[in-house]
Amino acid sequence: MSPAPSPDTASDARPLTVLVTGGAGFVGSRVVELLSERTDHRVIALDVAQNARSEEISRLPNVEFRAADLRDVEALDPIVGEADAIVHLAAVRTQAAAARPKDAHDVNVGTTYDLLTLATRHGHSRFVFGSTNTLYGPYADADAAPFSEDQPWVCRGINMYAATKLASEAYLEAFTGLGGPSYLALRIGPIYGPRVSPGSNGSMSIDILQALDAGERPSLAWTPDSIHSFVYVDDVAKAILASLSAEQANLAVNVVGAPVTTEEFCRRLIELYGHDPSQIDWRGERTRYQRVSQDRMRDVLGFTPETTHDEGLRAVIEWYRAQK
């Protein structure tokens, strides 16, 4: 099998009209930016929120911002009808899903079903779905081998957010069997980077910097030896671009960074910020050993995350300082 085109050569493919849901969000806005910068695709950035970020992306070349609620199928139908492919990133995230499980179901599962229905009706070529690698469970076993996409599923220890993503992945496969679009379900690891969403695991970096600025000891719920598959936001966006033109489809693909312990990641952030990392308060309330295979990401997308943790953390610090 030939490797998929790299994100940098995606513009060589036939130009498409790509609908990006959650287009003003943390990941979605970066996907929209890269589509505008690196491809000839026309982009419809769809989000329920209209804010400074949506205004910024609406000024990008070949980008049109649309404000709409994905649950409004009547309003959604003509928008989907303009597109050739969908990148579906809008979702109720982990903490909100736990607090509002019915909303999480309606938004995460219901809108995926509706989008797939419309994409099938309008003859779309590709559906790229933002899933999660938390559907592998709590990563409680420190000695477990890296999780791969095809290993037998054991539905144990998953949270509400992961449950909605698992249900949506099942609909992707079912709609393909009914003549729907080809799909890639990207099981994305914890994302960090500039403009990170508050309350996510990736926002731990911002919590640490804010504590240091306040003259406080950063207090972390994780154990120092917990392992995370942190992936930088630009790498996630590049993987999504590669998914639009990947030759192999109709399967799940992990999109994750190299495993790193909480201590390694946080100590380096604090060092780069010019502070003493020994002052971290390790509460030890949470633990996980999140090892996830990158093999299919390399084989199907022709892609491996390029951003080192030092590069990513420096970018976070630079952005954080610019907001102060």
Residue 275 domain-assigned?
no
Looking at residue 98, its pLDDT comes to 65
CATH number, residue 93:
3.40.50.720
**Any domain includes 112:** yes
- Which candidate, 26, 19, 85, places its Cα nearest to that of 237? 26
What is the C-alpha to C-alpha distance for residues 212 and 83, in angstroms, rounded to an integer?
46
Tell me the pLDDT of the chain averaged across its residues. 91
**Is 178 inside any structural domain?**
yes
The total domain count for the chain is 1
Whether residue 109 lies inside any domain: the answer is: yes
The pLDDT of residue 63 is 97
The tens digit of pLDDT for each residue in 62-110 reads 999 999 999 999 999 999 999 999 999 998 766 665 677 787 888 899 9
Rounded CA-CA distance 111/136 in Å is 23
The pLDDT of residue 93: 64
Asked if the structure places residue 107 within a domain, the reply is yes
CA angle 297, 302, 303 (to 5 degrees): 65
Residue 295 lies in a domain: yes
Please name the residues in contact with 102: beta carbons below 8 A apart, sequence gap of 6 or more. none
pLDDT score recorded for residue 1: 31
Exactly one of 161, 171, 183, 273 is catalytic; name it: 161
Identity at 160, one-letter amino acid code:
M
Q: Which residue has the tokens 């592998």?
A: 136
pLDDT for 314 beyond 80: yes
Give catalytic status of residue 183 as yes or no. Answer: no
Judged on CB neighbours under 10 Å (0-12, 13-18, 19+), 124 is buried
Report whether 96 contacts 83 (CB < 8 A): no
Residue 77's domain spans which residues? 16-192+230-256+291-306
pTM, full prediction: 0.92
Query: What digits encode the pLDDT tens for the residues 140-189?
Result: 999 999 999 998 776 788 888 999 999 999 999 999 999 999 999 999 99
- Tell me, yes or no, whether 236 lies in a domain: yes
Mean pLDDT of 200-216: 89
Return the pLDDT at 13.
Answer: 60
Confidence class for position 280, pLDDT limits 50, 70, 90: very high
Kindly report the three-state secondary structure assignment for every residue of the chain: CCCCCCHHHHHHCCCCEEEEECCCCHHHHHHHHHHHHHCCCEEEEEECCCCHHHHHHHCCCCEEEEECCCCCHHHHHHHHHCCCEEEECCCCCHHHHHHCHHHHHHHHHHHHHHHHHHHHHCCCCEEEEEEEHHHHCCCCCCCCCCECCCCCCCCCCCCHHHHHHHHHHHHHHHHHHCCCCEEEEEEECCEECCCCCCCCHHHHHHHHHHHHHCCCCCEEEECCCCEECCEEHHHHHHHHHHHHHCCCCCEEEEECCCCEEHHHHHHHHHHHCCCCHHHCEEEEEECCECCECCHHHHHHHCCCCCCCHHHHHHHHHHHHHHHC
Res 38 pLDDT > 90: yes
273 belongs to a structural domain:
no
